[in-house]
């Protein structure tokens, strides 16, 4: 059964049995699947089983009234999209304001006519149907995107493997070796981009499961050096690293996710800086940077010589949706990598930001508590 042809499920919430029977009689011939709850608490408790398409709810109920029930439902992520029509004998402006503040989508005032009731329900069901169709479209798109990304990973891995096999066979001219390195680096970049897409989709749907352990700065620095060596050479950029005064920190991070985030940040900094310039990676603790805020134990600063960002772009650059607009506007070197960085940093309770530095350049700062 498709979304457009399924029978709508209407939940009637009213403590008065006679009122429930009256509404049932008025709506029976519409062909709806009618569901009932005798109180707000009963409705909330059984929402997962009832899965209504629309809720028709009396305001004046003992215990939890309609306003409060509506407010609680709209705070529930799984059910906030369900349209709620409040049925009330109250007709003052204050009552309507209270209904709107609670999140109600529509009102109908007693006494009401049968045609009016049916029309309002049909109107709200159209809204719900459009929402369901949009969600179905988005889910289908995400599923298709993930399938495409997964299917691309295997041939890309094969390309990288064949490049390594060619290099191991030897008998290559220096220029041929250089071209193979360039091809491998670009293939690795595409592979990382595909991984970012998969991770971003996953992070959007569920909290990040963090496998925390002590932050090993030396291990992370060595890993980053290895991963970005080819990119530094290809773009003729120098790397400067300032490590903290002590190798051990009291900070715990998910080593895999956090190193990946830093690799993305460094790759962005290298690609956006002019050739023959330097990218600096600095680990600043309180002993080396006493000006750090009290709630920051470690600041990881990445500085390059890129062109300054407009103030409104300094936040947009971390937004995966705004990045699309920035690309259309001709902003260079923007992509999903920075959106991934922000998600990982915020999952660790930290904050990432970017600011312009004088005379030219950008500084990305990760503050960890």
The percentage of the chain sitting over the pLDDT mark of 70, rounded to a whole number, equals 85
The percentage of the chain sitting over the pLDDT mark of 90, rounded to a whole number, equals 8
Looking at 65-74, 87-96, 328-337, which range is the least confident one?
Answer: 328-337
pLDDT at res. 35:
92
113-165 tens-digit pLDDT: 788 888 888 888 888 888 888 887 777 776 666 667 666 777 777 887 888 88
pLDDT band per the 50, 70, 90 thresholds, residue 270:
confident
As a whole number, the mean pLDDT across the chain is 81
- What are the C-alpha distances in Å from 316 to residues 59, 267, 312, 338, 339? 42, 18, 7, 10, 9
Q: Is the pLDDT of residue 208 over 70?
A: no
306-344 tens-digit pLDDT: 888 888 777 777 776 665 565 555 565 556 678 878 888
Q: Strand runs (DSSP E) across the chain, as ranges?
A: 9-13, 33-37, 54-58, 84-88, 106-109, 212-214, 238-242, 252-254, 278-285, 298-304, 351-356, 362-368
CA–CA distance, 197 with 203 (Å, rounded to integer): 10
**Thinking of the domain 212-368, which architecture would CATH place it in?**
2-Layer Sandwich (3.30)
Q: What is the DSSP letter of 90?
A: -
pLDDT at res. 25:
86
pLDDT band per the 50, 70, 90 thresholds, residue 53:
very high
278-291 tens-digit pLDDT: 888 988 887 777 78
pLDDT band per the 50, 70, 90 thresholds, residue 2:
low
pLDDT band per the 50, 70, 90 thresholds, residue 171:
confident
Query: Is the dihedral angle over the CA atoms 197, 198, 202, 205 positive or is it negative?
Result: positive
Q: What is the mean predicted confidence (pLDDT) over 91-114?
A: 79
pLDDT at res. 201:
66
pLDDT at res. 344:
84
pLDDT at res. 202:
64
pLDDT at res. 10:
92
**Thinking of the domain 9-112, which architecture would CATH place it in?**
3-Layer(aba) Sandwich (3.40)
pLDDT band per the 50, 70, 90 thresholds, residue 83:
very high
Q: Going by C-beta distance under 8 Å and a sequence separation of 6 or more, which residues neighbour residue 60?
A: 66, 88, 89, 90
- What are the C-alpha distances in Å from 357 to residues 303, 309, 354? 8, 10, 10
- Domain map (residue ranges) of the chain: 9-112, 144-205, 212-368
CA–CA distance, 155 with 96 (Å, rounded to integer): 60
């Amino acid at each position: 059964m498709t979304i457009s042809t399924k029978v709508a499920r209407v939940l009637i919430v009213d403590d008065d049995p006679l009122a429930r029977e009256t509404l049932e009689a008025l709506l029976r011939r519409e062909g709806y699947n009618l569901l009932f709850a005798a109180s707000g608490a009963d409705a909330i408790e059984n929402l997962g089983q009832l899965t209504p398409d629309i809720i028709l709810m009396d305001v004046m109920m003992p215990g939890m009234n309609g306003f409060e029930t509506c407010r609680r439902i709209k705070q529930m992520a799984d059910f906030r999209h369900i349209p709620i029509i409040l049925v009330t004998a109250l007709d003052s402006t204050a009552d309507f304001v209270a209904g709107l503040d609670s999140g109600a989508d529509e009102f109908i005032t007693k006494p009401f006519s049968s045609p009016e009731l049916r029309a309002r329900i049909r109107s709200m069901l159209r809204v719900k149907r459009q929402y369901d169709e949009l969600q179905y479209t988005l889910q289908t798109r995400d599923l298709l995107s993930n399938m495409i990304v997964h299917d691309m990973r295997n041939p890309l891995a094969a390309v990288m493997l064949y490049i390594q096999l060619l290099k191991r066979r030897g008998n290559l001219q220096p220029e041929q070796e250089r071209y193979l390195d360039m091809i491998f680096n670009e293939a690795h970049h595409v592979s990382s981009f595909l991984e970012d897409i998969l991770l971003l989709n996953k992070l959007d749907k569920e909290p990040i499961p963090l496998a925390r352990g002590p932050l090993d700065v030396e291990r992370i620095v060595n890993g980053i050096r290895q991963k970005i060596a080819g990119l530094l050479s290809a773009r003729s950029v120098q790397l400067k690293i300032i490590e903290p005064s002590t190798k051990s920190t009291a900070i715990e991070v998910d080593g895999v996710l956090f190193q990946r985030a830093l690799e993305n940040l460094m790759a962005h900094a290298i690609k956006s800086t002019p050739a023959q310039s330097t990218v600096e990676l600095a680990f600043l603790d309180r002993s080396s940077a006493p000006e750090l805020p009290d709630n920051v134990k470690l600041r990881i600063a990445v500085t390059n010589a890129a062109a300054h960002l407009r103030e409104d772009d300094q936040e947009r650059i971390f937004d995966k949706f705004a990045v699309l607009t920035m690309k259309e506007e001709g902003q260079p070197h923007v992509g999903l990598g920075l959106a991934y960085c922000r998600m990982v940093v915020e999952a660790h309770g930290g904050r990432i930001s970017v600011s312009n530095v004088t005379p030219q350049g950008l500084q990305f700062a990760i503050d960890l508590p």
